Amino acid sequence: MPATYEPIATTTLSSAASSITFSSIPATYTDLRVVMVGTATNGSVILFNYNSDTANNYSRILLQGTGVAASSSFQSNSNGNYAGTWYSSYPCFTTIDLMSYAGSTYKTNLITTNADINGSGNVRYIVGLWRSTSAINSITFSIDSDTFATGTTATLYGIKSA
Amino acid sequence: MATTYTLISSNTLSSSAASVTFSSIPSTYTDLVLRVSTRSDSNDGGSTGSLTGLYFYVNGGAGTGSGTRLTGNGATTSSARWTDYGKIFPQTDASMTSNTFGSAEIYIPSYTASQNKPYGSFSVAENNATTGYVGVNAGLYSSTAAISSLVIYPWNGNFVSGSSFYLYGIKNS
């Protein structure tokens, strides 16, 4: 039986880096999943872009709990997907699910960020939209005025429906 | 290519049990995923607004950790924090619709890495009434040791017969 859930690429940083990129993503899967674990050198927001598109073609709805309050917000016409905030003190964990990433419709993604840092932090669920009908062939993660710390791991998985 | 997503062990209860244990977890995977379908025999008041859950011990002990939860109950949302062992909110208890089990998935990435272990979970406890629950949790297990065992408990009472537990390993290469 052909494999359904396959690692496409994985990166573990041997030194701090300002970005992590998955490129040349094959169009042969149905869905993609990214799993990232690590810390930010200083503690900052993670953004990611598809196919090097940094124009205002992204939007999102966010639901979060901070341990004190629950809230929701939206952002339209943004220049990237928002994947939450990572901190420097404890490792954080983000997953991104991209359904039908190679299809010819706009691209929806579901993002979870688990950033509990022992007495503070948050949990966030985000639905994002990239208004492009192009197949996703690259994903670039960046961290606002900061770096992903050494030891941060990011893996891209492909999921086949048949 | 080696299989990426593998069932390590499973347990479906044929009688009630106070806990379920996964021991001797191999260190050959990258991430762990625990999927459960559970109901406790304790009336914790879940159908009338008292949030209940599951908790789990790692490597034979409660350990230290923390977590942040976000839950909705059909009327309101709430968020709270804890600073002890691993917890998952919500869970289905005996006060909720009969023959109904809650579901949860707990994802533990990099479970063998020499760092503290973050985890995330999504769980639901539906109830054919005005109060049910959906919850997400971000947790942290404060230990740099590889995870080799997990013990899962209901908040109170026992897991009823039919509760099921599946532990999967995911390899990133």
Which residues in chain A have Cβ-Cβ distances shorter than 8 Å to B7? none
∠ CA A122-A125-A129, nearest 5°, is 140
pLDDT tens sequence for chain B (173 residues): 568 999 999 999 999 999 999 999 999 999 999 999 999 999 988 888 888 999 999 998 888 899 999 999 989 999 999 998 899 999 999 999 999 999 999 999 999 999 999 999 999 998 888 888 999 999 999 999 999 999 999 999 999 999 999 999 999 99
The answer, for A35 touching chain B at a CB cutoff of 8 Å, is yes
Which residues in chain B have Cβ-Cβ distances shorter than 8 Å to A123? 68-70, 79, 120, 136-138
User: Tokens 């341990």, residue?
Assistant: A67
* Token digits of residue A160: 């086949």
Query: Which residues are within 8 A (CB) of B17 and not within 5 positions of it... i.e. 6 or more apart?
Result: B158, B159, B163
Query: Which residues are within 8 A (CB) of B151 and not within 5 positions of it... i.e. 6 or more apart?
Result: B19, B20, B21, B22, B56, B57, B60
How do residues A146-159 score in pLDDT, each as one tens digit? Answer: 999 999 999 999 99
The DSSP bridge partners found for residue A60 are: A75, A128
Taking a C-beta distance cutoff of 8 angstroms, is the pair A86, A46 a contact?
A: yes
Judge whether residue A1 has pLDDT over 60: no
**Is residue A99 very low, low, confident or very high in pLDDT (cuts 50, 70, 90)?**
very high
Which residues in chain B have Cβ-Cβ distances shorter than 8 Å to A37? 109-110, 113, 118
The answer, for A118 touching chain B at a CB cutoff of 8 Å, is yes
| pLDDT (0 to 100) of residue B3 | 81
Give residue A8's Cα distance to chain centre: 15
φ, ψ dihedrals at B48, nearest 5° = -120, 20
Kindly determine whether residue A118 and residue B66, on different chains, have CB atoms separated by under 8 Å: yes
In chain A, the percentage of residues whose pLDDT exceeds 70 is 99
Q: Minimal Cα distance from A156: which residue of B?
A: B172
**Is residue A61 very low, low, confident or very high in pLDDT (cuts 50, 70, 90)?**
very high
Kindly determine whether residue A93 and residue B109, on different chains, have CB atoms separated by under 8 Å: yes
Residue of A66 and B85 predicted with greater confidence:
A66
The answer, for B4 touching chain A at a CB cutoff of 8 Å, is yes
DSSP collapsed to 3 states, chain B? CCCCEEEEEEEECCCCECCEEECCCCCCCCEEEEEEEECECCCCCHHHCCCCCEEEEECCECCCEEEEEEEECCCCEEEEEECCCEEECCCCCCCCCCCCCEEEEEEECCCCCCCCEEEEEEEEECCCCCCCEEEEEEEEECCCCCCCCEEEEECCCCECCCCEEEEEEECCC
Q: What is the side-by-side strand order in the sheet with A139-143?
A: A19-22, A139-143, A44-50, A81-86
Across the range A56-66, mean pLDDT stands at 96
B17 to chain A nearest CA, in Å? 30
Kindly determine whether residue A65 and residue B136, on different chains, have CB atoms separated by under 8 Å: yes
The answer, for B143 touching chain A at a CB cutoff of 8 Å, is no
Judge whether residue A77 has pLDDT over 90: yes
Parallel, antiparallel, or unpaired: how do β-strands A5-12 and A121-130 relate?
Answer: unpaired
* Token digits of residue B37: 């379908």
Q: What's the pTM value of the predicted model, to 2 decimals?
A: 0.94
Judge whether residue A134 has pLDDT over 80: yes
How do residues A5-37 score in pLDDT, each as one tens digit? Answer: 999 999 999 999 999 999 999 999 999 999 999
Residue at B164: amino acid letter: S
Measured distance CA(B119)–CA(A91) in Å, rounded:
10
B82 to chain A nearest CA, in Å? 8
Measured distance CA(B137)–CA(B12) in Å, rounded:
24
Smallest CA-to-CA distance from B91 within B143, B55, B62 is with B55
Parallel, antiparallel, or unpaired: how do β-strands A5-12 and A153-159 relate?
Answer: antiparallel
